[in-house]
Structure 1
Amino acid sequence: MHTVSPWSTTVQLDIENSALLLERKILDYSYQFYNTGDSFWIVVITPQNRKIAFRAAFGMNSCFEVVNLFDDGDTIVIALNSKLGSYEVRVDFPNTTKPLLHYTTTFTANVSLMIPFWPRDIIPLTEDGSVENTTGKIHMEQFGSRSGLIFASITKPATGSFFYFQNLTSLSEYCEATETESKNAVGGTWPEIGFQLPITDKLPLPSGKSFIISDAYVVLEAETIEETPAICEHFLNNLVNIYKAIPQSKIEYHDWPDIAQKSLTDLYHSKGAWTQTNGIPYLNAYLCDYETPSESMVQLAVLTPYKEYENWKGEKHPIYSDIISGLPAFYDPKINCINRWLPALADKLDQSEEQKKEMVMDSWYLHHPLMNLARLALDGEKTAKKLLLDSVEYVIKVAHHFKYVWPVFYNMETLETIKKETAPGAGGERDVAGAYAHLMLLVFKLTKEKRYLNEAKKAAKTLTALGINILYQANNTAFAAGALLELYKITQKKLYLDISYTCLTGLFKNIQLYDCKYGYGKNYTNFFSVFPLNDAPYTAAYEELEVYAALSEYFIQAKDVDILPSLRTLIPEFIKYAINRIAYYYPPMLPKEMLSEEVKTGEIQSDLWIPLEDLYNGWQQSGQVGQEVYGAGMAFGIVSRQYIKIDEDFLLFIDYPLTTPHKRGKSVAIHLDGDKDMSYNLKIIKLKGNKIQMKVFHENEILKPFMKNAKMHEYNISGFGLIKVQW
């Protein structure tokens, strides 16, 4: 039996003793409406005659009077009055082919109110008994600023599952007026779960103005879900059902080729981005951080996307030779592997953090620079190939020592574990096995030696034990998803595809699927952003770039695989919004008042096109960690993936994960194999020379631009079909 609060104890009896105001049937589900005094309830009756109640309005210290009830067959509107103010509950069913409920509640206070408490809005009911006797399993819930969702199964009585989503964009005006935040708004302890309106402790809710205080979507399922593959599939499918029903954020185009050029200029010429050791230039991790020794990860995090950009642009720049010349010095003969820190400066480590000690390795840091060396080696870079192959035996030795389950920190010489778990009982860096598998597959491509493929298989199988808590760091989880997809393509073993879906579930439950339009968050769009860690309070530039790049590649590699249809919606949509959003990591894109005056590492120069590490929602300033030099490859990675050079005079841009475009004569063909119901942006951009005189076809039907001027023609295109551009 569960302990419950007074706001839930009598819910079952209150509903049973109240008059039914209205009933609506959709598919096999019934939706009943009750006024129980201080609460207005929507009770859902499932096909198995089980019940779950949703509190659409709460009267606080007052009782409701129903003053109007309107039902036109599409929308139900209930007007409620109380001594404290007036409420309006609007209910609709956005998709009549699925049991999808949507209700929005607005409140207008008669007097300015402080709101010190608000009950949760979901209560499971019993046929004969009380709510404290119900049991259930919460599969996922909101943490911090992530999406306001809860996904759960009710196991007693066996009611089925539900996916609840609170559209927190709608709460922005409330948060702005009361200086509250929508963090951790959806969750709770069984059986009192769901959304809790942020309590006011600074400013009262103003009187006389209408505020949305709930905007909820609920998908109901008859099935009780237990196993990880089913949890992942249902989560992804339900997320798409909700996504297609909610209002989506406006798309904003940024001139990424121009940003890339500005970023390259500032990166190369800013003295704060560089330091020198033995006459060789090295990139700092953060702008003006001259105290921390150079890191191999930092050099390669910029060099690899820059190489992609150089290949795209067809022009060389001295930054490439400057960075590549310093890489061999990271090779440490004491371990026969490249080190995180420049060995020549190991005595300069200040030991201020656990990893800032000689020979202490943060597990994912061992693999990350080697992945980038492998990518460069596959592109023909000989220095990278030598360093990679000279280091890979050590990496395998470490994997065998830890049996493919890595701790957080270990000693690189002795392999002694220094820190085993991220938190008691939470395990180590869980997704490193996936990053290791990704690295082994890259080395397999390079060498064709099957032992690397076998290593990838062994590491990947250890991920099955982790369930939906697979994510440690988002970019590594994204690389793991791609590696597992590749293993599935090689072996045709569904196990690998299932684990791949688990990785993607870990990513998509770690996103912010709303726009924070209050506080400093209203200065930039943050819809569909992804957090770097499960508990990170901010989104981070470099991790977002790598997730974007990894999911782009995933989608390309999945073109011949029968992946879940939900992924053909979610991945291209993430790509579309990533291209839109991540320009706001650059300080020149932001008002100076939202930049932190205190910086943990280095300093911020707000005129430089070098990204901030950290963007916060709401009332916190951004850039608290520093200006992230190792994130400076962001624009390089986007330009090389989203722009096609037609000739010297024109560019083609599309905010969709591009498979290899097929150029033939004076035409280019692009195959889109996503969701036909979603739309994307295609732009023909004039650089110089002649007028834009091109035709765009979708499945042989000519498209008209929705906007055109002398410099750009813009088209909306479906997420599925063949696009052809002719000139």
Structure 2
Amino acid sequence: MNALSPWALSANADLVEASEIFYTRTAGQFIFVVQATDDSIWVNTTMPNGGNAMFRAAYSPGGSLAIEKTGTIEDGIQLTFVSVSGRQDILITINEDGAFPVLRYVTTLTPAQDLHIPYWPKDILFSNDKQEPEKTKGTIHASQFGTRTGFIYLTQTKPASASILYLQNLTALSAYCEQTETSAGDTVGGNWPELGFSLPPANKPLKAGKEVTLTDAFVAFSTDVVTEEPEIIQLYLKMLAALYCMLPKPKTKYQNWPDVLDHGLKDLIDSPGCWSQVAGHQYVNAYVSDYETPPEIMVQLAVLLPLLDYVEWSKTEQPVMKVIKDGLPAFYDEKLKTIMRWLPAAEDKLKGEEEQKVPRVMDSWYLHHPLLNLSRLALKGDKTAEKLFLDSIDFAIKVAHHFRYRWPVFYKMDTLEVIKAETAEGKGGEKDVAGIFAHVMLQAHELTGQKKYLEEAEKAAKTLEGYGFELFYQANNTAFSAGALLRLYKITKNELYLNLSYTCLAGIFRNVQLWDCNYGYGKNFPKFFSLYPLNDAPYTAAYEEQEVFCALHDYLKHAEGVDILPSVKLLIAEFIRYLVDRAMYYYPTVLPSEMLEDKPKIGEVDPKLWIALEDLQDGWLKSGTVGQEVYGAGNAFGILPRHFMKVSGEEFMIYVDYPTSGFTAQKGKNIHFGILGDESCTCRLMVVKTGRKKLPEITLTIKGHQVITGKQVKNGNIEFAVNGNQKVELSWSHRK
């Protein structure tokens, strides 16, 4: 028997007695009935097999609602009521055009006088056809944590009726949060059967006569009662994509990444705060002016690899790359036969202020991430990287066998003694390390052709089964894992690996923020579709986002020719589109100084440097609290080669904010390429001037026959709006 709050008991009793019906709509196997009680407007939803879900679209404490007007509209109803608190306008719609029926309710309040809100009840109550919430059961698969998307994904199992994805458009709550000085974090959740969204308790009152939105909820319904991991994950991805398409989304804008890269490259090379010197070699600092922490191999390679992407794209040389490469061999420990996290020659600088800041202590993912980057260099022909990689691979396998492919958080490199076993009590270790280990093994297999590495990859991958949404530990490693699992599927045709790759992606999309924090300092930067670096991190971070961005680009390339879920293509492409806009705001140079932390945890924040901040926080908190991360310098170097296509012999480039593939060019004639993603979404294609001449006459053709008209925008560039999943031909002729 479920325990109920007084508000749930009262609501259920009132609904039993409610008789007046304002609106009824049937969508598939779901029946929606709009009713009023003394203090609320409800959408009472009858589901298959005796299930029932009641959604509170509006609430006024103390009751005495007076319905002022009602009116049916296409797909729904509008209502207005007044109470002592003020006037509330409610819009309720039911959309059944897509794969799932979707209920939406939007409610605004115009307070009659200054109003303080200390409490607000949840807006969902589950029951059965006998109105007995206490006798129902359900499984909550995932829900909001911190300032991530305001969602809850669940299945009602007693009675076995339906699965539901509820998503609150928290962007719409910004005016409420601004007035009341509250955060939209941790506002969606609850305990069965009383779930959903509740307004955050106010610190300041709402002003009389000033309209604010109190709720903007989207609810997708499926008759699938999912219980097994693959079906739980795939249904989540499908429902999330369906709601995403309906969600109000902010506009993006073109960012001048070529200029940003030039600024960032200069500051990386010239700023003394970005470098330290040990034993005659220069090493990249993790954070600006952090001279206390010894050099880390992960940091060196996290800067080097994006630089390599840029050099290959630009056909230029960057001497700074040799500086970084020359310091890599010093990270190898001849006794242990492996690369080390901390530079051995400087380990004595570690002071032990954190568990991992101790000589020879390894954070499990830190061993594999450098190996992955070394393998990438090796596959491009770098012999020094190849030697470091192959000389270290046996140690990595030894560790994997010791921990049976289930890594702790921290361990000693020389004894393999566990220093910290779990991320939190009962949560296990770093679960996604098995995926990045599999990725490293696939790289070794590609480099050497030896079957034993493929076998290791499969053994590790199989241990990921059963984690579900808990698989995600660190965003970039989970994204690398997704790509490795997709590659394993292509090699073996084992559906398990494809399903596990979806599990990784579901973990990533469960940890994004599908809303814009337009209150407090949050008004200064976009956060829609931002990704959190850890499953419990309170902020988003430049480095992890940039690496996930690159990993998801690779995922879509590996997926070409594979029948993957359309929802996956859609969500990946949209994450990439928003990141290409948002990533600009990690640079303190484009942010107001008052929102930057004066005394970061590590090093210093120089607001004039084009070096990314580690962290962007909730709107009421200052950003840059951790520091200014030099290892996030790959931001621009990762974006430019993936989104700007150079045209030989011409003074323009082609920019697309979606991922693309198959770029081919005929000099002086035309260009062909594919735009990835899903055709239901639109992206920006721009012809960008690189010289002083006016652009030629541009013709853009889609699928060989549809000509798209562009518009001239700032700086003489030409912009087009095109859909995903299209083949593009761009031709031009110079004006005479």
TM-score, structure 2 normalization: 0.97
Match of 2:170 in 1: 168
Could you tell me which runs of 5 or more consecutive residues in structure 1 were left unpaired when the two chains were aligned.
Answer: none
Answering whether residue 161 of structure 2 is matched by residue 159 of structure 1, we say yes
Question: Which residue of the other structure, out of 719, 722, 725, is the alignment partner of 1:717?
Answer: 722
Map 1:352-431 → 2, pairs under 5 A: 352-431=353-432
The 2-side partners of 1:136 and 1:725 are apart by: 53
The 2-side partners of 1:194 and 1:245 are apart by: 19
Is the 8 Å Cα contact of residues 87 and 111 (structure 2) preserved in structure 1?
A: yes
Is the 8 Å Cα contact of residues 652 and 685 (structure 1) preserved in structure 2?
A: yes
Answering whether residue 702 of structure 2 is matched by residue 698 of structure 1, we say yes
Which amino acid letter does the alignment assign opposite residue 631 of structure 1? Answer: G
The 2-side partners of 1:706 and 1:118 are apart by: 48
The CA deviation string for residues 259-292 of structure 1, in whole angstroms up to 9 with x for no partner, is: 1111000000000000101121101100000011
Moved more, 575-584 or 2-11: 2-11
Change (3 A) 1:612 1:710: closer
Match of 2:12 in 1: 12
Which amino acid letter does the alignment assign opposite residue 19 of structure 2? Answer: A
The 2-side partners of 1:356 and 1:673 are apart by: 42
Question: Which residue of the other structure, out of 682, 685, 707, is the alignment partner of 1:682?
Answer: 685
Map 1:209-288 → 2, pairs under 5 A: 209-288=210-289
The 2-side partners of 1:267 and 1:68 are apart by: 62
1:49 deviation in Å? 4.8
The CA deviation string for residues 187-209 of structure 1, in whole angstroms up to 9 with x for no partner, is: 00111100011111x21111111
Is the 8 Å Cα contact of residues 51 and 161 (structure 2) preserved in structure 1?
A: yes
Q: Secondary structure at the match of 1:144?
A: coil
Which amino acid letter does the alignment assign opposite residue 395 of structure 2? Answer: Y
Q: Percent identity?
A: 47
Which amino acid letter does the alignment assign opposite residue 4 of structure 2? Answer: V
Question: Which residue of the other structure, out of 179, 185, 188, is the alignment partner of 2:187?
Answer: 185
1:74 deviation in Å? 3.4
Question: Which residue of the other structure, out of 107, 125, 128, is the alignment partner of 1:126?
Answer: 128
Q: Secondary structure at the match of 1:124?
A: strand
Map 1:564-579 → 2, pairs under 5 A: 564-579=565-580
Which amino acid letter does the alignment assign opposite residue 567 of structure 1? Answer: V
1:671 deviation in Å? 1.5
Aligned residues: CA RMSD: 1.3
1:491 deviation in Å? 0.5
Match of 2:199 in 1: 197
1:343 deviation in Å? 0.4
Is the 8 Å Cα contact of residues 659 and 677 (structure 2) preserved in structure 1?
A: no
The CA deviation string for residues 638-677 of structure 1, in whole angstroms up to 9 with x for no partner, is: 1111111102521111111122312234322111343111
Question: Which residue of the other structure, out of 635, 652, 655, is the alignment partner of 2:654?
Answer: 652
Map 1:470-509 → 2, pairs under 5 A: 470-509=471-510
Answering whether residue 618 of structure 2 is matched by residue 624 of structure 1, we say no
The 2-side partners of 1:21 and 1:101 are apart by: 17
Answering whether residue 21 of structure 2 is matched by residue 21 of structure 1, we say yes
Q: Secondary structure at the match of 2:140?
A: strand
The 2-side partners of 1:282 and 1:112 are apart by: 58
Which amino acid letter does the alignment assign opposite residue 440 of structure 1? Answer: M
Change (3 A) 1:710 1:66: closer
The 2-side partners of 1:500 and 1:390 are apart by: 29
Q: Secondary structure at the match of 1:661?
A: strand
Map 1:294-313 → 2, pairs under 5 A: 294-313=295-314
Is the 8 Å Cα contact of residues 532 and 544 (structure 1) preserved in structure 2?
A: yes
1:682 deviation in Å? 0.8
Is the 8 Å Cα contact of residues 20 and 32 (structure 1) preserved in structure 2?
A: no
Match of 1:135 in 2: 137
Q: Secondary structure at the match of 2:4?
A: coil
The 1-side partners of 2:707 and 2:541 are apart by: 41
Is the 8 Å Cα contact of residues 302 and 634 (structure 2) preserved in structure 1?
A: yes
1:47 deviation in Å? 4.3
The 2-side partners of 1:359 and 1:136 are apart by: 46
Which amino acid letter does the alignment assign opposite residue 377 of structure 1? Answer: A
The 1-side partners of 2:96 and 2:689 are apart by: 42
Change (3 A) 1:709 1:185: closer
The 2-side partners of 1:579 and 1:85 are apart by: 42
Match of 2:614 in 1: 613
1:247 deviation in Å? 1.0
Is the 8 Å Cα contact of residues 16 and 131 (structure 2) preserved in structure 1?
A: no
The 2-side partners of 1:544 and 1:96 are apart by: 34
The 2-side partners of 1:324 and 1:416 are apart by: 31
The 2-side partners of 1:147 and 1:63 are apart by: 34
1:35 deviation in Å? 1.1
1:93 deviation in Å? 2.5
TM-score, structure 1 normalization: 0.98
The 1-side partners of 2:301 and 2:482 are apart by: 22
Match of 2:635 in 1: 634
Change (3 A) 1:322 1:589: same
The 1-side partners of 2:93 and 2:492 are apart by: 46
Which amino acid letter does the alignment assign opposite residue 194 of structure 1? Answer: G
Q: Secondary structure at the match of 1:659?
A: strand
Moved more, 226-235 or 128-137: 128-137
Q: Secondary structure at the match of 2:78?
A: strand
Could you tell me which runs of 5 or more consecutive residues in structure 2 were left unpaired when the two chains were aligned.
Answer: none
